[in-house]
A and B are shown apart, each in its own frame.
Chain A
């Protein structure tokens, strides 16, 4: 195999999905099969490219202009981790949507928007420049607003309107933060901002900019109290869109950027990180408690996402290497099993036509693949050994105890028990209960959907072996954690 220089690969992560998205619009307007083939091929290509970038890093100067003048794209271990997650989950979701989107007549628009969202996320992950980050953030966000409203049913439009209003507010806050940072440091390049802040220290306007960034990106990451759009947007969207949104979007444009800005650019101390810890605690508790009483499967999973994001932010907010490993490991785990759970809910809705837990039951025999993968996903998210969710939650709890935050550790353990409670509720009511009369003759899930779910389940099980390489330095995640703890001047 010829050795491709990683420098040529970096811009292709953004250019390839963008180009194919436009190609789908031009060429595959009416032919849905061509659009599906193009999308799946592109995502396969992206997965291979991200596998190739493991262990490599580099800075790409767009246009050949040197760093202070030009726009950079930077690739390091944390970016590699997230690129891998985006590509793998995107591949599984695009395989799933081949069957699921058949009932929509404009499905080529779906693939075009989907690829646009992947472009935006890749651009945010690889951005070395604060304004480029904002532009690609907006590209991904606009694509996701359109995707949430894709079916044009009542709930989808209402949820999308709420999402777009709150999203625009948060983007305005982020742009204000960018303006303040530019005004104070005089540059937009992340490396240069980092060196200026390290040289001159954090003064009050920079603290205000950092606060604005936390508010803006907490909206995107759906931390409490900025979470109000998520329980409406994620259930109402079509199932592959919910999987993508909950699995990768809130992490790639929310948590990743928060971690980048906090550790690599601003170089925050434990004081400012305490805000992240408390936000994480609040999200864990509120998301978990609100999820228990839900009757709609996807709404329950949406609140569960808020809760798990709280775990991640708690882990990241600890600042210690073990805490960062826990937060990142939980990010990777959640990125695999939450899309799996949403795809399961989509398969249930596809087969039975309803999402209400009270009307479901006995799906263990009717939808075997869904039931098996759902069992894997639920056990993992609830934190049952030896599944991967157990290890990441254990690391977070250990990191809390190691830093001396006994309150946070206790609350984390209690919220894990609450997570187990609502996951068991879903399993019991949807899969193990008696089969109601109305659901006797439903057919099984189509093969592509089953393939996608099995793919994610295998990935989730494979991740539980990642911890065997060392509790404090797992493969890939340890390298990502080291780029964060390297501190300022890395960003």
Chain B
């Protein structure tokens, strides 16, 4: 059930990319889509009524493995967020440069390449 909500977020982001007329709105929609994918990745590691995956001095490894939420997707999502940050910075820089060149944020007017 909750995975379908992640899918909904991804689809909303995809809709935003397809429909948006401004470059910055396209950037925000891609961000939204990335959020949906990260949420999906994170929720796959979830365990019902699980403990946070931190090992205290008193915990044994066996009880940790059987009771805690999976920590690997959390590390994966951290990396994916940082990658998304890099791509976001590059996209925003491109939008700024596009504005300086074409004078507009409107995607339908930035169409010199055709054929």
Contacts and interface: CB of A to CB of B under 8 A. Distances in A.
Say whether A and B bind each other. yes
Interface of chain A, helix or strand or loop or mixed? helix
Contacts, number: 93
Top 7 nearest A-B pairs by Cβ distance?
A183-B44, A179-B41, A232-B113, A138-B83, A168-B30, A175-B37, A172-B37
A175 B90 contact: no
A155 interface: yes
Interface string A170-181: 011001101100
Given A154-B102, A164-B94, A299-B115, A169 B17 contact: yes
B88 to A, nearest CB: 9
B23 interface: yes
A158 B30 contact: no
B10 interface: yes
Interface stretch (A35-43, A104-112, A145-153, A273-281): A145-153
Contact of A154 (B80, B90, B112): B112
Contact of A135 (B13, B38, B83): B83
A161 interface: yes
A299 B13 CA distance: 31
Interface string B4-25: 0000001001100100000100
Nearest to B111: A158
Contacts of A172: 10, 13, 30, 33-34, 37
A168 B90 CA distance: 11
A145 B90 contact: yes
A212 to B, nearest CB: 11
A157 B113 contact: no
Nearest to B101: A154
Contacts of B76: 131, 178, 182
Please classify how large the interface on chain A is, using the bins under 10, 10 to 19, 20 to 34, 35 or more: 35 or more
Contact of A149 (B30, B94, B110): B94
Contacts of A146: 90
Interface string A450-471: 0000000000000000000000
Contacts of B33: 168-169, 172
A426 interface: no
B90 A182 contact: no
A175 B33 CA distance: 11
A159 B112 CA distance: 9
A169 B14 contact: yes
B26 interface: yes
Nearest to B94: A161
7 contacts: A145-B90, A154-B102, A158-B111, A168-B87, A172-B13, A175-B37, A182-B41
B26 A175 contact: no
Interface string B76-90: 100110010011001
B68 interface: no
Nearest to B102: A154
Given A145-B87, A158-B113, A178-B76, 18 more contacts: A131-B79, A138-B83, A142-B83, A142-B90, A155-B113, A158-B110, A161-B23, A169-B17, A169-B30, A169-B33, A172-B13, A172-B30, A178-B41, A179-B44, A179-B73, A236-B113, A294-B115, A296-B115
A131 B80 CA distance: 10
A153 to B, nearest CB: 8
Contacts of A202: none
B69 interface: no
A472 B34 CA distance: 44
B97 A142 contact: no
Nearest to A141: B87
Contacts of B101: 152, 154, 157
Nearest to B40: A179
A366 interface: no
B83 A157 contact: no
A160 interface: yes
Contacts of A171: 87
Interface in B58-101: 72-73, 76, 79-80, 83, 86-87, 90-91, 94-95, 97-98, 101
Interface string B24-61: 00100010011001101100100000000000000000
A155 B97 CA distance: 12
Contacts of B113: 155, 158-159, 232, 236
A415 B90 CA distance: 38
Contacts of A158: 98, 102, 110-113
Nearest to B30: A168
A198 interface: no
B10 A157 contact: no
A179 B10 CA distance: 14
A161 to B, nearest CB: 5
A401 interface: no
